[in-house]
Amino acid sequence: LETVRVLTARGATVLAAARTREKALASAPAALPLECELSEPSSIQQCLREVQGLGLQLDGIIANAGIMALPRLQQKHGLELQFLTNHLGHFQLVTGLLPLLSERGRVVILSSRAHRMAPATGIEFENLSGERGYRPWRAYGQSKLANLLFARALSRRIPQAVSAVHPGVIVTNLWRHLPGLVSWGMRLAGSLVLKSIPQGAATQVWAAVHPDAAELRGDYLVDCNRASPTLLGRDELLAERLWQESERLLSRLT
């Protein structure tokens, strides 16, 4: 919401997607509301058709949504829900929007420092359903590593700027699945040492519009600067395998 506020305040036309059109309109009244449930491929397809029908060229795509650390395994379409929502939904949406991206457009994928929590193999291709073992933070870390790898693979396929962003640790509704005492502690810490919401939005806004970000090629960003992800986050072969598997999964689901 802070990203929408900043961009619209400076004259940008923003297409704001949420799980329902009503939620998008209520949350971002200055933007054009779109319905897009990232865990539902048919909803994403409908959103893509609506955007295409507007006849607009896009100067930027910010893949910002996510769910975190679901306490119990949840599945949809045979996939663990964090992987489906955080990675595969964004993969479908972003690749579907690429034909509308301007020559000097940007793609910003929200990753996280939590990609360091991913499994030792990086992406558990034989356990994308979560049925062979599920740990909340490991599954979240895997989805955030997938975001980072998606940005790297995408940067090799398009000439426009692409980046993966760690926004920082910010107290938002993303924490809603944490146990009550942990959530309370985080909210207390948020008022003392964590980033504010405007600080958290700064890097993705910078990557989307600042002239200095025009040459990003799958870079990982922290605090409006390039940073080093894990070795897995720089693994080009893993990124390519994930791209191929994502295409295969989407061909089954759409």
Catalytic positions are 134
Q: What angle do CA 107, 244, 246 make, to 5 degrees?
A: 65
Q: What angle do CA 184, 135, 174 make, to 5 degrees?
A: 40
Bridge partners, 161 (sequence order): 106
Q: Where do we find the tokens 């760690």?
A: 166
Q: Do the Cβ atoms of 180 and 123 come closer than 8 Å?
A: no
- Backbone φ/ψ region at 50: left (φ over 0), alpha (ψ -120 to 50), beta: alpha
Among residues 226, 43, 41, 58, which one has the least CA distance to residue 148? 226
In the DSSP assignment, the letter for residue 78 is: T
